[in-house]
Amino acid sequence: MTVFPEIHWPTAPSEASPVLLLHGGNVANWMWQPQVDVLEDRLVLTPDLPGFGAHTHEVWPGLPAGADQLAARLAALRITTPIDVVGLSLGGAVALHLAARHPELIRSLFITGAIVEPPGPMVKATAKLQLLLWNAPWFWKTQAAAFRLPADSRSIYVEHGLSVSGETARRMFDDVTTGGIPHGLADFTAPLLAVVGEREPQSIRDSLHVIRDVAPHADVRLAPGMHHIWNVEDVDLFNETMRRWLDGQVHPHLLET
């Protein structure tokens, strides 16, 4: 299986805050390669979440426990200064729970594609169908094409999708289809940017308004023309959005909602 490091050291001594990148649910930390390449001035952490990548021997523990495990991992690495967190899809949901449960760890938060609004019947039916097809290679190939993944990422996507256990998938989908804002997020005051691809399903786009209702200081935006995994769909746009946010700015090409 393709292995991607979980710790990426800066090329020169740096006082910039570390960056924690949290991957989506059907992938692993390899999805962040295009972003690690432009963060050479920072310590970057790209952990595989429980049940994914190097941790497929584990079973997904749920969003609160997943967030607590991340906090414990940061403590084990002796990272005590607040960090910048970037999360996509499942990683975005984990990031919200990390913010709610361990706000002192976070300097800023940038999430995209996180579902907090319970999806409609169509999305839930699709999730059930995905579970039935979980071990079929053609299913993963079709998913890769639907997400507009570049050709050089599709074989890795299929490989990692097939490596995830059915039990992890079931638990993950239970979390996603339940939705909900984590308790305590209303008390999170660090800068928060929540983005959804303009071409994502309405239920995901609706989550932006739920996040803003709970955290009024959040800046919520649409990524123009983008689908779900837009960090590889349009690497330049995502990287520019991320770098500007780390510098305290919102990319002017993002659309207001």
Question: What pLDDT does residue 210 have?
Answer: 93
Tens digit of pLDDT at every position of the chain (257 positions): 567 899 999 988 888 999 999 999 888 999 999 999 999 999 999 999 999 989 999 999 999 999 999 999 999 999 989 999 999 999 999 999 999 999 999 999 999 999 888 777 777 777 788 888 888 888 888 888 877 777 777 888 888 888 888 899 999 988 877 878 898 999 999 999 999 999 998 878 999 999 999 999 999 999 999 999 899 889 999 999 999 999 999 999 999 98
Q: For the residues of 218-235, what is the DSSP string, one character each? A: -EEEEETT--S-HHHHSH
The whole-number pLDDT of residue 52 equals 93
Closest C-alpha among 28, 136, 152 to residue 89: 28
Sequence-ordered alpha helix ranges (H) in the chain: 33-36, 63-76, 90-101, 121-132, 137-146, 151-163, 166-178, 202-214, 230-233, 235-246
CATH of domain 7-252: 3.40.50.1820
Q: Tell me the domain boundaries of the chain.
A: 7-252
Which conformational region is residue 7 in: left (phi greater than 0), alpha (psi within -120 to 50 degrees), or beta? beta
Per DSSP, the three-state class of 75 is: helix
Instruction: Please report the pLDDT score of residue 108 as a whole number.
Output: 98
- The predicted structure's pLDDT at residue 159: 85
Give one DSSP letter per residue of 101-112, joined into a string.
Answer: H-GGGEEEEEEE
Q: What are phi and psi of 59, to 5 degrees?
A: -115, 140
Comparing CA positions, the residue from 88, 29, 93 lying closest to residue 64 is 93
> Would you state the pLDDT for residue 173?
86
- pLDDT for 129 equals 83
Judge contact between 186 and 214, C-beta under 8 A. yes
Model pTM score: 0.93
96: nearest Cα among 31, 6, 190: 190
